[in-house]
């Protein structure tokens, strides 16, 4: 009877094979990570209801830090019978805050980068009547707002934001402003509330990055890169107490916690 030869795997054969497989797995992980970082990021199309139309925003690319490609967004207006009455493919990353009945237009914002901060480069209006992308003349190329500190009023007549003028000092000239979308004017309100305290994850990220070599806590001013990690300005700190009344809470806040003692200010817009 024929017998199959036996294969004896000695240690000298097994150990190099394990090392080779380990190296192959490591290279595969690195390759997949590189593919993921260079691949486009898709999002689900978002729908916003107007008075006579529906706005559909489809972001094809999501902007990345130090990238020359800041995204491509397809914007479409659909009539009630689903007919496309306006469509544009734009070379920027757009999002929508909602529909303003006082202006009879959708309010859009465009994201951009200043240093390591991701903020709002421009606000735009998209009217239902004779649709077109209309840039806010009072904001665009004049102000830069932190993306985590955009507070629209319930009817979108006003948009409060923490921002700075383009030509101002990068670090310390961040203030609280409000955009009147009906008149397209900007009003200076005053001192901006401090940024939100870090979460545990953000604090760990802060330790791995360059922390300012001064006595300042990492987030004592807006616009620094770590403020773009995702923590939005809390609603109990800055909010619309009524459709046209802005309410802001101030305190001796730090990057670790909010102060218990608060000073409340209100503006009737």
Residues 160, 143: contact at Cβ < 8 Å?
no
Q: Is 5 exposed, middle or buried (0-12, 13-18, 19+ CB in 10 A)?
A: exposed
Mean pLDDT for all residues in the chain: 79
State the pLDDT at residue 66.
62
State the pLDDT at residue 166.
81
CA-to-CA distance for 163 and 122, rounded, in angstroms?
12
Any domain includes 247: yes
Any domain includes 232: yes
CA-to-CA distance for 159 and 76, rounded, in angstroms?
23
- Into how many domains does the chain fold? 1
Give the pLDDT band (50/70/90) at residue 157: very high
Any domain includes 34: no
CA-to-CA distance for 13 and 18, rounded, in angstroms?
9
Any domain includes 167: yes
Task: Give the residue with greater pLDDT, 216 vs 140.
Answer: 140
CA-to-CA distance for 240 and 259, rounded, in angstroms?
21
Residue-wise pLDDT tens digits, 52-109: 999 999 987 665 666 666 678 999 999 999 999 999 999 888 999 999 999 999 999 9
Any domain includes 20: no
Any domain includes 12: no
Q: Is 44 exposed, middle or buried (0-12, 13-18, 19+ CB in 10 A)?
A: exposed
On the question of pLDDT at 43 being above 70, the answer is: no
Record the pTM. 0.76
Beta strands in the chain, from DSSP E residues, in sequence order:
46-49, 53-59, 73-79, 84-90, 94-100, 105-114, 117-127, 134-135, 143-152, 158-165, 175-180, 185-191, 238-242, 245-250, 263-268
Residue-wise pLDDT tens digits, 176-210: 999 999 999 999 999 999 888 877 777 776 666 54
Give the pLDDT band (50/70/90) at residue 14: very low
Among 79-83, 108-112, 123-127, 173-177, top mean pLDDT goes to: 123-127
Any domain includes 16: no
Residue 129 tokens, joined:
């009547």
Task: Give the residue with greater pLDDT, 220 vs 29.
Answer: 220
Any domain includes 116: yes
Q: Residue 61: which domain range?
A: 46-268
State the pLDDT at residue 136.
97
């Amino acid at each position: 009877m024929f017998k199959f030869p036996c294969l004896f795997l000695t240690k000298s054969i097994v150990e190099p094979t394990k090392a080779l497989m380990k190296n192959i797995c490591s290279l595969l992980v690195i390759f997949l990570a590189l593919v993921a970082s260079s691949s486009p990021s898709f999002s689900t199309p978002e729908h916003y209801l107007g008075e006579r139309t529906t706005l559909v925003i489809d972001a094809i690319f999501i902007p990345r830090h130090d990238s020359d490609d800041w995204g491509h967004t397809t914007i479409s207006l659909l009539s009630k019978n689903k007919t496309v009455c306006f469509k544009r493919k734009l070379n920027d990353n757009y999002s929508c805050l909602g529909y303003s009945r006082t202006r009879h237009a959708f309010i859009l914002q465009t994201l951009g980068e200043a240093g390591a901060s991701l903020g709002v480069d421009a606000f735009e209006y998209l009217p239902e009547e004779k649709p077109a992308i209309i840039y806010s003349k009072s904001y665009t190329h004049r102000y830069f707002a932190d993306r985590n500190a955009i507070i629209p009023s319930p009817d979108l007549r006003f948009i409060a934001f923490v921002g700075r003028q383009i030509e101002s000092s990068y670090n310390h000239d961040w203030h609280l402003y409000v955009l009147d979308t009906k008149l397209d004017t900007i009003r200076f309100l005053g001192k901006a509330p401090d940024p939100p305290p870090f979460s545990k994850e953000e604090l760990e990220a802060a330790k791995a990055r360059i922390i300012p070599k001064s006595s300042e806590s990492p987030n004592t001013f807006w616009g620094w890169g770590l403020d773009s990690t995702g923590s939005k300005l809390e609603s109990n700190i800055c909010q619309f107490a009524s459709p046209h009344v802005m309410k802001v809470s101030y305190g001796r806040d730090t990057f670790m916690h909010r102060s218990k003692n608060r000073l409340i200010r209100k503006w009737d817009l």
